[in-house]
Structure 1
Amino acid sequence: MNNVTLKQIRAFVAIAAECSFTQAANSLHVTQSTLTSSIKALEEEIGMQMFDRSTRAVVLTTQGALFLPAAQRLLRDLEDALENLQMVAARERGSVAVCAAGSFITYVLTPALIQMASHYPGIHTRLTEGTTQSVAQMILSGEADFGVTTLFQPIPELDTALLLTDAYGAVCNKTHPLSEETAPLTWNKLSRHTMVRLNKANGIRTLLDMEPKVAGLFKSTAYEVSGVASLQALLSQGFGYSALPALAAKSLVVDGLRFQPLTRPNIRRQLHVVKKKGRSLSPAAVTLFRAMIDAMENMAPDSTVDVVFTHDEVRAFCGI
Structure 2
Amino acid sequence: MIINFDLNDLQAFRAVVDKGSFRGAAEAIRISQPALSRRIEKLESALDVKLFERTTRRVSLTMVGRAFLPQVERLLDDLDIALMGISNVASTRMGNVTIACVPSTAYYFMPHVISEFHKLYPKIRLRVLDASAGEVCNAVASGEADFGVSFSGSLADEVEFELLLQERYVLACRRDHPLAERESVTWTEAYEHDYITVDKTSGNRFLLDQALRGVRVKKPSICETHHVTTMIGLVEAGLGVAMVPSIAMPAGTHPILVSVPLVEPLVMRNVGLIKRRGRTLPPAALELERLVREMPFRSV
Is this a same-fold pair by TM over 0.5?
Answer: yes
Encode CA deviations 1:168-203: one digit per residue, 9 max, x unaligned: 01011111111132x422222213211111112222
* Matches for 1:34-53 after TM superposition, within 5 Å: none
- Matched ranges for 1:280-291 at <5 A: 280-291=280-291
Partner of residue 106, structure 1: 107
Distance (whole Å) between structure 2 residues aligned to residue 180 and residue 5 of structure 1: 69
Distance 1:286 1:191, change over 3 A: same
Partner of 1:202: 202
Rg comparison, structure with higher value: 1
Residue 171 (1) aligns with residue 172 (2)? yes
Q: Is the 8 A contact 2:160 2:274 kept in 1?
A: yes
Q: Is the 8 A contact 2:152 2:269 kept in 1?
A: no
2:144 aligned with 1:138: no
Unaligned 5+ runs, structure 1: 7-81, 306-320
Tell me what 1:97 maps to.
98
Alignment of 1:1-320 (within 5 A): 2=2, 86=83, 90-91=89-90, 92-93=92-93, 94-181=95-182, 183-213=183-213, 216-217=216-217, 220-250=220-250, 254=254, 256-295=256-295, 298-300=296-298, 302=299, 305=300
Shift of 1:153: 2.9
- In structure 1, how many angstroms separate the alpha carbons of the residues matched to 2:226 and 2:164? 25
SS state at 1:178 partner: coil
Structure 2: which 5+ runs fail to align? 7-78
- Tell me if the contact between 2:146 and 2:281 (Cα under 8 Å) persists in the aligned partners: yes
Aligned residues: CA RMSD? 3.0
Tell me the CA shift for residue 268 of structure 1. Answer: 0.8
Q: Distance in 2 between matches of 1:249 and 1:195?
A: 16
Q: Does the residue aligned with 2:297 lie in a helix, a strand or coil?
A: coil
Residues 165 and 269, structure 1, Cα contact 8 Å, conserved in 2: yes
Letter in 1 for 2:132: T
4+ residue runs over 3 A deviation: 2-6, 85-89, 212-216, 251-255
TM (norm. structure 2) is 0.66
Q: What SS does the aligned partner of 1:177 have?
A: coil
Taking structure 1 as the reference length, what is the TM-score of the superposition? 0.62
Counterpart AA for 1:138: A
CA deviation vs aligned residue, 1:126-185 (integer Å, no higher than 9, x gap): 11101111011111221100011123234221122111111101011111111132x422
Q: Structure 1 residues 233, 95: closer, same or farther in 2, change over 3 A?
A: closer
Provide the secondary structure at the position in 2 that maps to 1:95: strand
Q: Are the counterparts in 2 of residues 175 and 238 from structure 1 also a CA contact under 8 Å? A: no
Superposed displacement of residue 269, structure 1 = 1.1
CA distance in 2, matches of 1:195, 1:111: 31
Aligned-pair distance for 1:258? Answer: 0.8
C-alpha contact 1:168 1:261 (8 A) present in aligned 2: yes
How far apart are the structure 1 equivalents of 2:99 and 2:286?
12
1:250-284 CA-to-partner distances (Å, cap 9, x unmatched) read: 27974621111111211111113111110000000
Letter paired with 2:107: T
Superposition deviation, residue 109 in structure 1: 2.1
